[in-house]
Structure 1
Amino acid sequence: MYLLPLGAVWAPLTSIAQKFSTFDRSKLQIITKTGKHEFIVETAVTDRQHAQGLMFRQSLAKNAGMLFDYKVPTSITMWMKNTFIPLDMIFINNDGKVINVVQRAIPFSENVISSAGKARGVLEVNGGTASRLGIKPGDKILHRIFGNME
């Protein structure tokens, strides 16, 4: 029987794990004409987290998502490179107001998806969620980054 030194196994695993960021989770609410919708989101706040996003995920729970926080309003562009699942992208201003909704972004596409204005953040949810919940520009996102939820 041949035994590998522990370092021969551990080092590659550590290297792979270090390439991926971990994300804090928090509550988020979306207020639409159809009501209040509760989500648990992962928050992407660093450049490394922004770059990783939901890449390589095989699935996303129904009321889950990722909230990208860019700290200050700016023109934001996204893409779907290495993203396996279709997503809706909800662009949000500094006050938590939805300014643009892009539905069912195509997995693996490198086409640029734009905020169409200055946005503080982007909420990515499963493709079809915006249509199912009736999320439209003018709707409200409640989350601590917008200062409208604890």
Structure 2
Amino acid sequence: MRRTTRLALVCCLVVGLAGCAGVGSTPTATDTQAPVTADATTTATPTATPEPVATPGSDYDTATVTISAENGTQVATVEAWVADDFGKRYTGLSETEALEPGQGMLFVHGQEGNHAYVMRNMDFPLDMVFIAENGTITTIHHAPLESDDDDLTQYSGRSKYVLEVPYGYTNETGVEVGDRVDIDR
């Protein structure tokens, strides 16, 4: 039996599958270099890597995300930061040490397609929940921490949205492929 619970979404970095051989999707960068800044009188130099923070910050919009079983029973709800542009999707929560219960992040892509996520520079493992444009969960991955940022595992699925939750959360709450996700922005 399922029970209502707070869904703590967690984020990681996004890599579009277009960079992988044989996959047709909208190209997205897979570059791992630090952002470069410059002004009119200096040459471009990499910016300093910021210290980890407890939350993604105030420059993110939020959304209420509700997951319901196929029979309509509500399984979980979370207040999530929304990563809806390339910069926010690429950075994700890689500069975040942890999230409070009931906090999370929702990745939003411009259109449904094959998308891949990696665990680059993450401090905690995740479950990754891929969601179709119609709100149906299509794939769930359990992603442990990576030991080598040079050889990252790609977790992919067909989606328009991706929720990342603490490792094992989907098992604990009974969130399954085929469940329905509603997003109130």
TM-score normalized with structure 1 length: 0.76
CA contact (8 A) 1:84 1:108 kept: no
**As a proportion of its length, which structure holds more helix?**
1
Report the alpha carbon displacement of residue 16 of structure 1 after superposing the two structures with TM: 6.0
CA contact (8 A) 2:136 2:179 kept: yes
Distance in 2 (CA, whole Å) between partners of 1:108 and 1:64 is: 23
Distance in 2 (CA, whole Å) between partners of 1:44 and 1:92 is: 15
Report the alpha carbon displacement of residue 77 of structure 1 after superposing the two structures with TM: 0.5
1:6 aligns with: none
1:4 aligns with: none
2:67 aligns with: 30
Deviates more, 1:61-70 or 1:21-30: 21-30
2:182 aligns with: 142
Percent identical: 25
1:104-135 deviations in whole A, cap 9, x for unaligned? x12236111111xx311100111121011111
CA contact (8 A) 1:38 1:63 kept: yes
Larger Rg: 1
Report the alpha carbon displacement of residue 71 of structure 1 after superposing the two structures with TM: 2.2
1:113 aligns with: 155
Pair 1:129 & 2:166 matched: no
Pair 1:83 & 2:125 matched: no
CA contact (8 A) 1:62 1:126 kept: no
Report the alpha carbon displacement of residue 43 of structure 1 after superposing the two structures with TM: 0.5
Pick closer, same or farther for the CA change 1:108–1:56 going to 2, 3 Å. farther
Distance in 1 (CA, whole Å) between partners of 2:75 and 2:168 is: 17
2:20 aligns with: none
TM-score normalized with structure 2 length: 0.62
Q: Partner amino acid for 2:144?
A: I
In structure 2, the gaps of 5 or more residues are 1-46, 51-55
Distance in 2 (CA, whole Å) between partners of 1:37 and 1:66 is: 14
Q: Partner amino acid for 1:66?
A: M
Which of the pair has the greater relative contact order for Cα pairs under 8 Å at 6+ separation?
A: 2
Report the alpha carbon displacement of residue 15 of structure 1 after superposing the two structures with TM: 6.6
Report the alpha carbon displacement of residue 87 of structure 1 after superposing the two structures with TM: 0.8
Q: Partner amino acid for 2:164?
A: E
Count of residues paired in the alignment? 127
RMSD: 2.2
